[in-house]
């Protein structure tokens, strides 16, 4: 499903500040796999997620998702691809603090062109799935860390994506909420989602349903 070929990412190319974030990455991820991308801060995990989600373009090499070279798509098309196929869960949740839970979850559905009724219906479905329906009209700033995480997961599921990318999803959670998140991951895997988690949380070492653990160091896969 995801094929990464000879991928390189260099920042500030041909300047004194030139920095290779990713070096010659080759990787294959099948449908419905749960992948752990392990590495310390600055190892290149987030950059790889940015490239897979077509938020960044590689310096060289390519990323093919479902036979489509997404690394070569122009910006408008890569946004469309992302809107339809990618769900993101971030370390610090990255929710709009002034908006309610339901309003935050509706964000990925707006560029898809759904009408308001369809958006509202889908928001209700994913809130139920992430067990956050009871907080639908609450503002984000009034939620606990675990509730914010569930809201972020609901937002990532709103567009019914094939791929879910999680960047350090448990970094701001206590152990109890981290375990709840891992439990939710299993449900997502059961929904046939492909999940890539960039983390250095040792808690994921104990997760049995992980298909592959990939270690990354200084931009290179080990």
Query: Is residue 86 near other proteins by the rule CB under 8 A?
Result: yes
Which listed range, 29-37, 72-80, 182-190, 206-214, lies at the site for other proteins (CB under 8 A)? 72-80
Report 122-141 residues binding other proteins (CB under 8 A): none
Query: Is residue 163 near other proteins by the rule CB under 8 A?
Result: no
How many angstroms separate the CA atoms of 109 and 159, rounded? 6
138 three-state secondary structure: coil
How many angstroms separate the CA atoms of 137 and 103, rounded? 8
Nearer to other proteins, 88 or 181 (CB): 88
Token pair listed for 95? 């929710």
Among 22, 27, 35, 49, binds other proteins (CB under 8 A): 49
Concatenating the DSSP letter of every residue in 25-79 gives EEEEE-TT-EEEEE--TTSSHHHHHHHHTTSS--SEEEEEETTEEGGGS-HHHHH
Site string for other proteins, 1-40 (x = CB under 8 A): ----------------------------------------
Concatenating the DSSP letter of every residue in 154-199 gives HHHHHT--SEEEEESTTTTS-HHHHHHHHHHHHHHHHTT-EEEEEE
CB 102 within 8 A of CB 127: yes
CB 2 within 8 A of CB 52: yes
Q: How far is the CB of 93 from other proteins (least distance, A)?
A: 10
Q: Which residues of 112-130 are buried (b: 16+ CB within 10 A; e: fewer)?
A: eeeeeeebeebbebbbebb
Q: How far is the CB of 176 from other proteins (least distance, A)?
A: 25
Nearer to other proteins, 43 or 179 (CB): 43
Query: Is residue 55 near other proteins by the rule CB under 8 A?
Result: yes
Q: How many residues bind other proteins (CB under 8 A)?
A: 41
| Nearest CA-CA partner of 123 in 144, 142, 100 | 100
Site string for other proteins, 169-208 (x = CB under 8 A): ----------------------------------------
Query: Is residue 212 near other proteins by the rule CB under 8 A?
Result: no
Binding footprint of other proteins on the chain (CB under 8 A): 46-47, 49-50, 53, 55-56, 75-76, 79-80, 82-84, 86, 88, 90-92, 94-99, 103, 106-116, 119, 155, 159, 167
């Amino acid at each position: 499903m995801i094929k990464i070929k000879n991928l390189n990412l260099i920042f500030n190319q041909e300047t004194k500040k030139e920095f290779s974030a990713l070096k010659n990455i080759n990787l294959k991820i099948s449908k419905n796999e749960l992948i752990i991308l392990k590495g310390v801060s600055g190892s290149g995990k987030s950059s790889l997620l940015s490239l897979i989600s077509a938020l960044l373009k590689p310096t060289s090499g390519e990323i093919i998702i479902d036979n489509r070279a997404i690394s070569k798509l122009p910006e408008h098309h890569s946004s469309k691809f992302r809107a339809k196929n990618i769900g993101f869960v971030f370390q610090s949740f990255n929710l709009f603090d002034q908006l309610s839970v339901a309003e935050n979850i509706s964000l990925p559905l707006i560029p898809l062109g759904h009408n308001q009724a369809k958006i509202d219906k889908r928001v209700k479905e994913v809130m139920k799935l992430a067990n956050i329906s009871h907080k639908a009209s609450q503002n984000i700033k009034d939620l606990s860390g675990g509730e914010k995480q569930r809201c972020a997961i609901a937002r990532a599921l709103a567009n019914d994506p094939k791929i879910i990318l999680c960047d350090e999803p448990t970094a701001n959670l206590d152990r109890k909420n981290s375990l709840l998140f891992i439990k939710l991951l299993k449900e997502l895997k059961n929904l046939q989602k492909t999940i890539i988690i960039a983390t250095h949380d040792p808690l994921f070492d104990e997760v049995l349903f992980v298909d592959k653990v990939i270690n990354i160091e200084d931009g290179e896969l080990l």
